[in-house]
Structure 1
Amino acid sequence: LVMAAAISEAELGISAALDGPIVNAAELRAELAKRGYIFKHKTDVELLVRAYQYWDKELVRHLRGAFAFALWDSRKERLMLARDRFGQKPLHLYQAGGVFYFASEVKALVRAPGVKAEVDMAAVGDYLRQRYVSGPRTLITGVRKLAPGTYALWQFGNLRETRYWSPPDGEAAGIMPRAGGEPVEGFIERLDDAVRLHMASAGPVGALLSGGYDSAAIVALMKRHSDTVATFAAGFADDKKSELPAAARIAEHLGTSHHEVVLQRRDVLAQLPTLVARRDAPFCRPADVALHLLAHEAARKVRVGLSGDGGDEILGGYRRHTMLRALAPSPRRINGLYVIPVSDPKEPPPAEGSASTLRRILYYEQVGWLADNLLERSDRMTSAAALELRTPFLDHRVAEYVSSLPDAARVRGLSTKWILRKADEKLLAGVKPTKAGFRIPLADLMRGELRDLVVDHLRGAGCRTRAYYDGAVLDRLIDEHLATKRNHEQTLWTLLNLEIWHRTYRPS
C-alpha cells in the first residue's frame, strides 16, 4: 500500500494507508466539514480517517473510485481492510500460525517472516485452463485476495469479512425506465458525472484511446469538462489492422492533443521478464506489454489516464453476449461458451422474476474475468509506468443504472452495447468508432524474436522438473510451432509465462 497517512496516533489513535484515488473526495470533505470536522492536509488519506471517525466501518459505502486501504484504530485495537466495489485495486492477505499479513503485492507477502512460497496447484490449474487465477486464490499457497466490494476487520486475533457491495446484475432487474430516449440520456448523465469525478486530480489528466466505442465516449465527455485533453494510442508498426488510424480519427474529430506509440516486435522481448515480476502473475495476454509501454509514454505528459476498461463487462460488449438469448433454455450450450460452468445443466431455467441469463453471465464476468484478470493486469501495467489509471465505466452508479434497464438496452439482436452505441451517436456527431482489437503477431514472434526465450525456458532443466509438464508433448508442441507445421502460440505463450513466473518467484 502507498501513501502512508500523516495522521498521528497521538491525535486520533488512528493510522491509515491508502492505494488509489477517492474521486468524490471534494464532496465528502464538504459534507464532513459541515458536520464539524477540520481538515489540515486535504489529502485523501486524511479524508479516509475523518470519514472513518464519522461513519466507522460504513465509510466504504460513501467512497467512489478505485481504492484499497488499511486503517488501524488503536482505541478499539482493530484493523480494517477494504477494496473498492469492482476490485480495481489489489489487496492480498496471509493468515497462519497466529500471524496476519496484508499487502498490495504478492511479492511483499512471500518475503514476510514465516511465509513459505509454495505453489498452489489448484491455482496453476486455473491458470492453465483460463489463463488467469480465479479469486480468492493466488499462485502462492495461503496468499489470497480480499474479494472486491469487501471489507475485513481483524480484532483480538479474529478476522471477519463483510461484502458491502455486489454487482446488481446478480439480481433481477428493478427499475423499468419510461419509453423513449430517457435510458440513453440517463446513461450519458451518469457516465458524464463519473467522468467529471474521475478527472479531479492535482496533475494533468489524459485518456487511453483505442478508437472503439468505450474510450471514444470517455474522451468525448472529458472534452465537456476541459478544453485540453491529451489522448494516447498504441499499435504495432507492421500491423495492417492497427487501431492507430481509428484512434487518430476520433482524436481529430474531438480536438485532442493526440500521441501515438508505435511498437516494434523487439519491445515484447525486452519487456517480458521484467513485467511478469511487476504483474505478480504470469501474463494472460501479450497486449499487456503494449499497455505498459503506452502507459509509460502517457506518464511523461499526464499523471492520470482515463480508460474504457469495464465497458464490455458492464454493457454486454462481447459477441458471445448476443448468443445468450437463443441459448437461454440450454445451460449446456451456454456452459460451452465458457471455461468454467456458469449454470448447472440439471437446474431448470430461472423462474420468472429472477435474473435473466444475460444478467447472470454479466455478473459472472464482473466478479470473475473482470476483477481477477482485466483490472488486475491494467492496474499492474499502468502502476509500473507511474500512471494512475481511472475507469469511469466502473463507477457503481453507472453500473447500477445500466443494470436497472431491460436486457435490450445492452444487447439487441446482434448489436452489443446498444445503449453506448446510441450515446456515441449523440456524443460524437457523425464519427463512428471502430474497434479492431489490439493484435500482436505472437505466432511469428515465437519463431523469431522470442524463439530463444521459448527454447531456453520450455526446454530448460528447471521447467522439466515441474509436476504439470509432459516433456515429450511439450517438445512436440515446440517443434511443430517453430517448423510452422502447427500454430501453438496460445499454449506456448501460457506455459512460457508460467515458467518466467517460476524463475522470478522461485516457489517450491
Structure 2
Amino acid sequence: MCGIFGWVLGPAKHQDRETLIKLTDLMLHRGPDGAGYQLHATADERFQIAFGHRRLSIIDIGGGAQPMSSEDGRFTLIFNGEIYNYVELRQELVGRGHRFRTNSDSEVLIEAYRAWQLDAIRRLRGMFGFALWDEREQRLILARDAFGKKPLFIGELEGGFLFGSEIDPLIQFPGFSRDFDSEALGQYLLNRYVPGPATFFRKLKKLPPGHYAVWQSGTLKTRRYFSPPVSTALPDVKSFHDAISLFQQAFDDAVRIRMRSDAPFGAYLSGGIDSSAVVATMVRHSTGPVQTFSVGFRETEYSELDHARVIARQFGTAHNELLVEPDSFFTHWPTAVLRRGAPVSETSDIPIFLLSEMASRCVKMVLTGEGSDELMGGYPKHRAEQWIGLYQWLMPRLLHDGLIYPMVRSLPYGMRRVKILALAAGERDLPNRMRLWFGGTSVAEAEAMLERPLSATPPDVYPYSSGLKSSLRRTLFFDQTSWLPDDLLERGDRMMMAGSIEGRMPFMDTALAGTVARFPDEFLTGGKGGKTVLRAAMDKILPPEILRRKKVGFRVPIGEWFRGPYRDFLQDLLVSDSSSLAQVIRAPKLRRLVTEHLNGRQNHEKVLWSLTNLELFLRTFKVST
C-alpha cells in the first residue's frame, strides 16, 4: 500500500528531480516507510518519464522497495496496492521458468506482465493503481483495479500528462491548471460526489475502475478490461443451500488471502453483520487474537460500540475503541478534505480517518466490511426498487407531482427516510432516481441553487447502461460502478491512507462477486434486511442480536452538532461574507436551508454537509471558479 506519482513530459516541459521529490513527498502519509524516485528519457529523447513512490511496507518489508526494475532492466514499476493472489501467480510463473529476487507481490506483477502482457491485469485478484514502463516497447501502462478500490488520476498537460494516487501533488505541478469544472458542480449536488471520470478540476480525470491506459509514441489510449459479473452472469444457482455453501467457500477464501502480510494487521469492527462476518472468518485463520478497532460517539443513538463489544467478546479479539468528540471531528475535517482532494461525501469519512490514525500505532493493515451491501443487496432501496414499477403504474405522474410530492416535501424533521423513499418512488428517470436514493438533490432543486439550467446527463453513462431487466441487478450494477468507486471506496482509500494504514475489503473480491452474481434475486433480498445468503451463512456463527439488527449505517450526529456547538461554524461557512459559495450558489437559498435546519423545521443535514464541504474544498484548493 503506497502512493505513486509521475509524469510523461515533452521537451518543453521537462522537470528536475527536486520537483519529483517534492510532489511525491506530499503523499508521505500514504507511505511513511520509504521512498524512491526515478527520472529517465525515452529512447528518442523526446519524452521525460518520471516515477515517484512512497511506501507503506506490508509485503516483503526488506525487499519490496520501489521503483522496482526487472533483473534485465526491461521493466520498471511503481505500484500502489496489493495483489492478494501473488503466491499462486508466483508459483505458476516459476513453473514457466521465471526467476525472482524478492518475495514481493510487486515483482510478481512485473513478471506476470512479462509472461502475459496486458492479459496479466485480468489475472490479478487485488487492489491496485500502477504504472509500468516497458523499455523495449517504449510504452507506459497505467492500470486500476476492477472495482476501483485504489485511485489513479491523470492530469492533462500540453505535450504530456501527469498521473498519481492523489489530487494534491498533481495540481501543485508547475503550471497545472486549477480551472473549476462547473458541470462537475452540478453532478456533485445531484450525487453528493463527483461521478468519474470527472473531478472538480477541468484538466484532471480519474482512470475509471476496471480500465488500463497505454501510452506509446505520444498517444494515450484507454480500455476497459472488467465489467461487474452482476451484469453478465446468469442466476444459475437454483438451491438456496448450494448458494450458502458457495458463498461460504468464496468468502472464506477472500478473507484468507487478504490476511497475507509481513506486518501486524487487524480489522475494523462496527458491530454490523458485514464487519462481524469478516472478523469471525479471520479468527478461523488466525493463530492468535485478532486486533479489532471500533469508533463511536457519546450520542448513544449513533454509536455502535455496544454491538462491536458483543462480537469482540465472542471471538476473543484484542479490542480497541475510539470515542469521537465534536472538537476532534471538526479539527480534522479540513485535513480530510485535503486528503480526499474533493469535498468529503460522507460524514463517516472523518471518524474513519481518526480511527485509522489510532490503529496505525499498532498495525499497518486492517480488513473491513465495505462493499457487502452493494454486492449482496443490503440497502432498503434494493427491496424498494422491485416495487417502483408497480407504484408508478398505479400512481400517474401528474398525481404524484401534484399531490404526493408537495405533501412529502412538508413532512417534519424526523421523516427524512420516508421523504427519500417517496421522492425516489415518483422519479421515472433512472439516473435521477439512483441519485435520490442516497439523498442527493433533485434536478429542480440543483437548478434553483445554481440559477441556471443543469445537464442531468452523468459524465459517464456506463453505470446506467446495463440494460438488465432485473431492477435489483440494475441497481447493484449502478452501486458497483458509481456509488462504490466514487464514494465509499474512495472514502476507504483516502481516509485510511490519511492515517497511514491499509484497508483490505473481502467483499470486493472479484471471485466472490462472480459467485454472488450467480444467485437469483430472491437469495439476496428475499428476507428481512436483505443480504439473505450472508445472514444464512452466518446463522450459526454470529449471535442473533447481530443477525437481526436493523440496518443503521455508519451515522454521525452532524445534524445535532450543526444545531448545537457548531451552529456558528455552519453559518460562517455558508452565509457569512467570507463564504466562497456565494460565487456559485444563490445566497437566499443557502440562508433558507440553514434557517430551516437550525430551527428544527426540516432535516437538511445531507445537503448542508455537501455544501459545507464544498466551501471547505474551495478554500483549501483555491480553485479558479
Fold in common (TM above 0.5):
yes
Which residue matches 2:432? Answer: 340
Q: Which amino acid letter does the alignment assign opposite residue 307 of structure 2?
A: A
Distance 2:128 2:165 in 1: 11
Q: Which moved more, 1:83-92 or 1:120-129?
A: 120-129
Which residue matches 2:585? Answer: 469
Q: Indicate conservation of the 8 Å contact 1:21/1:67, yes or no.
A: yes
Distance 2:117 2:183 in 1: 37
Which blocks of at least 5 consecutive residues in structure 2 are unaligned? 5-52, 56-64, 398-424, 436-455, 457-466
How big is the shift at 1:430? 5.4
Distance 1:152 1:468 in 2: 34
Which residue matches 1:137? Answer: 198
Which residue matches 1:23? Answer: 84
- Which of residues 542, 561, 573 is equivalent to 1:457? 573
Deviations 1:273-320 (A, max 9, x none): 111101111111211111111122221221111011000000000011
Identity value in percent = 40
Q: Which moved more, 1:404-413 or 1:476-485?
A: 476-485
Which residue matches 1:370? Answer: 484
- Which of residues 153, 156, 161 is equivalent to 2:214? 153
Structure 1 residues 62, 440: CA separation in 2 closer, same or farther (over 3 Å shift)? same
After the TM superposition, which residues 68-467 of structure 1 pair with which residues of structure 2 at under 5 Å, given as runs? 68-171=129-232, 173-174=233-234, 176-179=236-239, 181-226=241-286, 227-328=288-389, 330=392, 333=425, 335=427, 340-341=432-433, 355-412=469-526, 414-428=528-542, 432-433=546-547, 434=549, 435-464=551-580, 466-467=582-583
Distance 1:48 1:134 in 2: 29
Distance 2:300 2:240 in 1: 42
How big is the shift at 1:9? 6.9
How big is the shift at 1:322? 1.0
Deviations 1:346-376 (A, max 9, x none): xxxxxxx954121111001110111100000
Count of matched residue pairs: 499
Deviations 1:6-47 (A, max 9, x none): 534783221110001111111111111111111112222222
Distance 1:245 1:265 in 2: 20
Distance 1:383 1:164 in 2: 26
Secondary structure at the counterpart of residue 437 of structure 1? coil
Which residue matches 2:10? Answer: none
Distance 1:334 1:361 in 2: 16
Which residue matches 1:36? Answer: 97
Structure 1 residues 443, 15: CA separation in 2 closer, same or farther (over 3 Å shift)? same
Q: Indicate conservation of the 8 Å contact 2:166/2:340, yes or no.
A: no
Which residue matches 1:492? Answer: 608
Q: Which moved more, 1:144-153 or 1:459-468?
A: 459-468
How big is the shift at 1:184? 0.2
Q: Which moved more, 1:273-282 or 1:406-415?
A: 406-415
Distance 1:110 1:92 in 2: 11
Structure 1 residues 335, 200: CA separation in 2 closer, same or farther (over 3 Å shift)? farther
Q: Which moved more, 1:481-490 or 1:262-271?
A: 481-490
Secondary structure at the counterpart of residue 67 of structure 1? strand
Secondary structure at the counterpart of residue 90 of structure 1? coil
Deviations 1:445-500 (A, max 9, x none): 12333233323322344535754211233234334444445543333221111011
Q: Which amino acid letter does the alignment assign opposite residue 584 of structure 2?
A: Y
Q: Which amino acid letter does the alignment assign opposite residue 105 of structure 1?
A: E
Q: Indicate conservation of the 8 Å contact 1:243/1:437, yes or no.
A: no
Q: Which moved more, 1:466-475 or 1:387-396?
A: 466-475
Q: Indicate conservation of the 8 Å contact 1:322/1:414, yes or no.
A: no
Distance 1:324 1:481 in 2: 29
Distance 2:602 2:387 in 1: 34
Normalising by the residue count of structure 2, what TM-score does the alignment of the two structures yield?
0.76
Secondary structure at the counterpart of residue 218 of structure 1? helix
Q: Which moved more, 1:8-17 or 1:241-250?
A: 8-17
Structure 1 residues 429, 273: CA separation in 2 closer, same or farther (over 3 Å shift)? closer
Distance 1:50 1:394 in 2: 25
Secondary structure at the counterpart of residue 440 of structure 1? coil
Structure 1 residues 255, 48: CA separation in 2 closer, same or farther (over 3 Å shift)? same
Structure 1 residues 430, 287: CA separation in 2 closer, same or farther (over 3 Å shift)? closer
Q: Which amino acid letter does the alignment assign opposite residue 279 of structure 2?
A: V
Normalising by the residue count of structure 1, what TM-score does the alignment of the two structures yield?
0.92
Secondary structure at the counterpart of residue 240 of structure 1? helix
Distance 2:345 2:606 in 1: 10
Deviations 1:316-358 (A, max 9, x none): 00011112222246598474697635699xxxxxxxx954121
Which blocks of at least 5 consecutive residues in structure 1 are unaligned? 345-352
Q: Indicate conservation of the 8 Å contact 1:198/1:390, yes or no.
A: yes
Structure 1 residues 334, 376: CA separation in 2 closer, same or farther (over 3 Å shift)? farther
How big is the shift at 1:212? 1.0
Structure 1 residues 413, 228: CA separation in 2 closer, same or farther (over 3 Å shift)? closer
Q: Indicate conservation of the 8 Å contact 1:82/1:151, yes or no.
A: yes
How big is the shift at 1:111? 1.6
Q: Indicate conservation of the 8 Å contact 1:335/1:342, yes or no.
A: no
Structure 1 residues 339, 494: CA separation in 2 closer, same or farther (over 3 Å shift)? farther
Distance 1:128 1:452 in 2: 23
Structure 1 residues 325, 478: CA separation in 2 closer, same or farther (over 3 Å shift)? closer
Q: Which moved more, 1:390-399 or 1:121-130?
A: 121-130
Which residue matches 1:501? Answer: 617
Deviations 1:194-235 (A, max 9, x none): 000001011122111111111111111101100321111111
Instruction: Give the aligned CA root-mean-square deviation in angstroms.
Output: 2.4
Structure 1 residues 239, 439: CA separation in 2 closer, same or farther (over 3 Å shift)? farther
Structure 1 residues 334, 306: CA separation in 2 closer, same or farther (over 3 Å shift)? farther
Distance 1:265 1:463 in 2: 22
Distance 1:499 1:486 in 2: 22
Distance 1:429 1:460 in 2: 50
Distance 1:247 1:187 in 2: 24
How big is the shift at 1:388? 0.4
Distance 1:465 1:395 in 2: 40
Which residue matches 1:349? Answer: none
Secondary structure at the counterpart of residue 113 of structure 1? coil
Structure 1 residues 337, 261: CA separation in 2 closer, same or farther (over 3 Å shift)? farther
Secondary structure at the counterpart of residue 410 of structure 1? helix
